């Protein structure tokens, strides 16, 4: 039995190695999730680390906790103003699209393994959903800028399609183990999970904003800890009453991230870091759980099923479900290609293991191989595909904001960030000539990575980033000053 000191030592080393490898391979397009999984495999019982790990229940628990934090952080970063117009196509992909993918893959599995459709449908259900951790990781931290609305659609789909995959997986396991079970009962559970998850996520997000703004804690560091506890409470309570905890925590993150509350940047930085830690922990743990020698015998079947999923099932489901919506062929092709599989399918693959489904270890190995293939082929080529489809665009340069302003709930003052675009009517004008409201002040100008303390005679230039302290009611008026 390893002592806590040894476990901490191993954990710290694995995290440090994962981060270093991610840094080394970031610029050559290898997805970080693949790097973390490989680190886990190398550290495992058949790798150079020799760490024996065969606890599917513990792996599922670690994955669940990590996904809760990743989904909440993903919700925080989701800009609802951009995503709300994509709610219907995202919901269609997250439900009908997932179901169609499961059926097509299930039919292929049935033919390849010469087994029942229900067993094949179980495999299809497990790998039917795109993975939020993988999509957020590649689209938000990769060197990728996208035209149009495909990026928010992919993020919204990946954050909301887990309930459907979980429902299909658990429902199929029940039908396999209890052949006399009612399909109507299974569908009733799904709609209950979806409805309860959505309602409690919305209420939880609103409640979190209210409490953060009303509870004046004596120490700033309490705010992120408090938000963390509330997010876990939202997930666990929703799951306890048979709702979709994953959907609830994602919606709560969206509500909180698009609301106004104190210490907002502090919370964002905290959950960004927590999301990275969760991804490393989850993927390394899942890498430890697999035996590389078990993947060799199923390599041929794994490649075949990967091809069916990537080139047939996902594209067919995307093109059919998006027929009512205004996406061109290039956008549909790209959406089809970014059907990344990651942690969720691997975690779902532990459900048959724990339930004792026939050939459940084979299911786990096949799903793991498909995830590796998806991460390597799809995740590693997203930039190239975006360029070939003419959907790539330059990534805006990230600018470090050296100031942070925290106002209490009764304060009308807000710190506003405004870029001066090349077509702005304010360009080449002195600040004194802009006719700002009396309660508005430009406190800092960031130009070419340099901080400039402004005066009335300072002339604004194209590309300047202005930090203004202003009354919230004047925000739209101030934006009009800098418009074309």
Q: What single DSSP character describes residue 28? A: G
Mean pLDDT score across all residues of the chain: 86
How far is the C-alpha of 426 from the C-alpha of 460, rounded, in Å? 7
Q: Secondary structure of 393-426 in the HEC alphabet?
A: CCCCCCCCCCCCCCCCCCCCEEEEEEECCCCCCC
Give the relative orientation of helices 4-25 and 264-289 as an angle to the nearest 10 degrees: 100
How far is the C-alpha of 436 from the C-alpha of 440, rounded, in Å? 6
148: left (phi over 0), alpha (psi -120 to 50) or beta: left
How far is the C-alpha of 268 from the C-alpha of 419, rounded, in Å? 21
CB 18 within 8 A of CB 35: yes
Residue 146, pLDDT above cutoff 90: no
Reported as a single tens digit per residue, the pLDDT across 284-316 is 998 998 888 888 899 999 999 999 999 999 999
pLDDT confidence of 398, banded at 50, 70, 90?
Answer: low
413-481: what CATH class?
alpha beta
Exposure string for 291-316, b = 16+ CB within 10 A, e = fewer: beebbeebeebbeebbebbbeebbbb
Domain 4-388 has CATH 1.10.1060.10: no
Reported as a single tens digit per residue, the pLDDT across 168-199 is 898 889 888 876 666 676 677 778 888 899 99
Residue 252, pLDDT above cutoff 90: yes
List the structure tokens of 77. Answer: 């970063």
Beta-bridge partner residues of 465: 419, 446
Reported as a single tens digit per residue, the pLDDT across 25-53 is 766 666 788 889 999 999 998 888 889 88
| CA quadruple 22, 25, 26, 31: dihedral sign | negative
- DSSP-derived secondary structure for 111-154: HHHT--HHHHHHHHHHT-S--HHHHHHHHHHSS--B-TTHHHHH
| Three-class secondary structure of residue 466 per DSSP | strand
Instruction: Please state the φ and ψ torsions of residue 481, each to the nearest 5 degrees.
Output: -60, -35
Q: What's the pLDDT at 301?
A: 92
| CA quadruple 23, 47, 285, 338: dihedral sign | positive
pLDDT: is 432 or 397 the higher one?
432
How far is the C-alpha of 210 from the C-alpha of 215, rounded, in Å? 8
Asked whether this chain's domains 4-388 and 413-481 adopt the same fold, the reply is no
Stated pTM of the model: 0.79
CB 127 within 8 A of CB 369: no
From the list 74, 86, 123, the residue with the least C-alpha distance to 326 is 86
Q: For the chain, what are the domain ranges? A: 4-388, 413-481
Q: What's the pLDDT at 383?
A: 82
Instruction: Please state the φ and ψ torsions of residue 46, each to the nearest 5 degrees.
Output: -100, 5
pLDDT confidence of 155, banded at 50, 70, 90?
Answer: confident
Residue 235, pLDDT above cutoff 80: yes
How far is the C-alpha of 256 from the C-alpha of 248, rounded, in Å? 12
Residue 81, pLDDT above cutoff 80: no
Beta-bridge partner residues of 146: 392
List the structure tokens of 434. Answer: 């802009």
CB 62 within 8 A of CB 277: no
From the list 394, 293, 269, 385, the residue with the least C-alpha distance to 330 is 385
Q: What Cα–Cα distance (Å) separates residue 129 from each residue in 95, 134, 314, 381?
A: 9, 11, 10, 20
pLDDT confidence of 65, banded at 50, 70, 90?
Answer: very high
CB 24 within 8 A of CB 16: no
pLDDT confidence of 108, banded at 50, 70, 90?
Answer: very high
CB 118 within 8 A of CB 172: yes
Q: What single DSSP character describes residue 221? A: T
**Helices vs strands, H then E, count in the chain:** 22, 4
Q: What single DSSP character describes residue 468? A: E
């Amino acid at each position: 039995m390893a002592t806590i000191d040894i476990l901490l030592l191993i954990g710290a080393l694995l995290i440090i190695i994962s981060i270093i490898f991610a840094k080394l391979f970031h610029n050559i397009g290898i997805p970080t999730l693949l790097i973390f999984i490989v680190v886990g495999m190398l550290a495992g019982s058949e790798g150079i680390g020799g760490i024996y790990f065969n606890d599917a229940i513990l792996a599922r628990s670690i994955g669940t906790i990590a996904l809760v934090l990743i989904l909440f952080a993903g919700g925080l970063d989701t800009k609802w103003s951009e995503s709300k117009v994509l709610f219907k196509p995202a919901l269609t992909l997250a439900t009908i699209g997932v179901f169609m993918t499961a059926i097509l893959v299930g039919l292929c599995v049935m033919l390849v393994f010469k087994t029942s459709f229900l067993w094949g449908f179980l495999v299809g259900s497990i790998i039917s959903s795109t993975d939020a951790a993988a999509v957020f990781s590649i689209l938000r931290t990769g060197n990728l800028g996208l035209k149009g609305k495909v990026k928010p659609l992919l993020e919204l789909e990946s954050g909301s399609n887990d309930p459907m995959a979980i429902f299909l997986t658990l429902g199929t396991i029940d039908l396999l183990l209890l052949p006399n079970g009612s399909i109507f009962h299974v569908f009733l559970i799904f709609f209950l999970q979806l409805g309860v998850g959505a309602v409690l996520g919305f209420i939880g997000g609103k409640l979190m904003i209210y409490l953060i703004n009303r509870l004046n804690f004596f120490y700033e560091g309490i705010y992120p800890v408090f938000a963390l506890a509330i997010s876990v409470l939202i997930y666990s309570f929703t799951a306890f009453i048979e709702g979709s905890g994953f959907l609830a925590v994602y919606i709560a993150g969206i509500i909180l991230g698009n609301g106004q509350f104190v210490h907002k940047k502090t919370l964002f930085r905290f959950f960004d870091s927590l999301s990275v830690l969760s991804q490393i922990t989850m993927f390394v743990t899942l890498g430890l759980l697999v035996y590389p020698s078990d993947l060799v015998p199923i390599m041929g079947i794994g490649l075949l099923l990967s091809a069916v999923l990537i080139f047939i099932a996902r594209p067919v489901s995307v093109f059919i479900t998006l027929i009512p919506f205004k996406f061109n062929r290039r956008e549909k092709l790209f959406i089809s290609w970014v059907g990344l599989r990651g942690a969720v399918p691997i975690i779902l693959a532990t459900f048959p293991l724990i339930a004792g489904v026939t050939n459940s270890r084979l299911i786990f190995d096949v799903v793991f191989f498909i995830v590796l293939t998806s991460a390597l082929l799809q995740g590693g080529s997203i930039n190239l595909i975006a360029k070939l489809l003419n959907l790539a665009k330059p990534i805006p340069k990230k600018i470090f904001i050296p100031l942070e302003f925290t106002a209490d709930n009764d304060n009308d003052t807000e710190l506003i960030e405004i870029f001066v675009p090349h077509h702005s009517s304010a360009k080449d004008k002195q600040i004194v000539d802009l006719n700002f409201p009396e309660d508005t002040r430009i406190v800092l100008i960031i130009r070419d990575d340099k901080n400039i303390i402004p005066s009335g005679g300072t002339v604004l230039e194209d590309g300047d980033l202005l930090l203004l302290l202003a009354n919230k009611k004047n925000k739209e008026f101030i934006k009009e000053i800098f418009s074309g």
